[in-house]
C-alpha cells in the first residue's frame, strides 16, 4: 500500500532539485487517493501540462496503483509567494 512517506521519497529520488514536497493521503489512510505538492526549480519555464507530466512520469508506477491523484507543481519563486 502506498503511503505519504513512500511518495515523498520517490519524488525526492526521481525529481531533480526538490526544494519541498508535501504528500497527503486524501483517502483517510487507505492509500487510494493522494494530493501532492512539489516545489522545484526544475519546473522553471515549463507550463502546467509539462510540469504535471514530469511528476506523472516520476510516479508512473505509483499512480497506476491508486484511484485518484492530483498534484500541484511550483517553482521556488512561485512557492515563496504562496507561503509568505
Partner 1 sequence: MPLINIVDQDQFSRLTTTEANGKIVVLYFYATWAEPCKAINDVVKALSDEPTNHNVQFLSIDADEHSEIAELFNVSAVPFFVIIQNETVLKELSGADPKEFVSALNECKTAALGAGSSSTSAALNDEARVSDDEDEDEEEETEEELLERLTKLTQAAPVMLFMKGSPSEPKCGFSRQIVGILREHQVRFGFFDILKDDSVRQGLKKFSDWPTFPQLYINGEFQGGLDIIKESLEEDSEFFQNALQS
Q: What is the binding site for partner 1 (CB under 8 A)? A: 48-49, 52-53, 56, 60, 63-64, 68-72
Helices 4-14 & 48-58, crossing angle to 10 degrees? 110
- Pick between residue 3 and residue 56 the one whose CB is nearest to partner 1: 56
- Pick between residue 49 and residue 84 the one whose CB is nearest to partner 1: 49
Q: How far is the CB of 52 from partner 1 (least distance, A)?
A: 6
- Pick between residue 20 and residue 53 the one whose CB is nearest to partner 1: 53
Select from 18, 19, 22, 25 the least CA-distant residue to 8: 22
Q: For residue 15, which phi and psi values (nearest 5 degrees)?
A: -105, 130
- Sequence-separated (6 or more) residues with CB below 8 Å from residue 71: 35, 36, 37, 38, 52, 55
Q: How far is the CB of 49 from partner 1 (least distance, A)?
A: 5
Q: How far is the CB of 12 from partner 1 (least distance, A)?
A: 20
Amino acid at each position: 500500500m502506498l503511503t505519504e512517506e513512500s511518495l515523498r521519497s520517490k519524488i525526492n529520488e526521481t525529481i531533480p532539485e526538490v526544494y519541498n514536497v508535501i504528500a497527503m493521503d486524501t483517502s483517510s489512510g487507505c492509500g487510494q487517493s493522494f494530493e501532492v505538492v512539489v516545489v522545484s526549480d526544475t519546473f522553471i519555464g515549463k507550463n502546467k501540462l509539462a510540469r504535471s507530466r514530469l511528476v506523472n512520469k516520476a510516479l508512473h508506477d505509483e499512480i497506476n496503483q491508486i484511484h485518484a491523484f492530483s498534484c500541484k507543481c511550483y517553482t521556488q519563486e512561485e512557492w515563496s509567494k504562496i507561503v509568505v
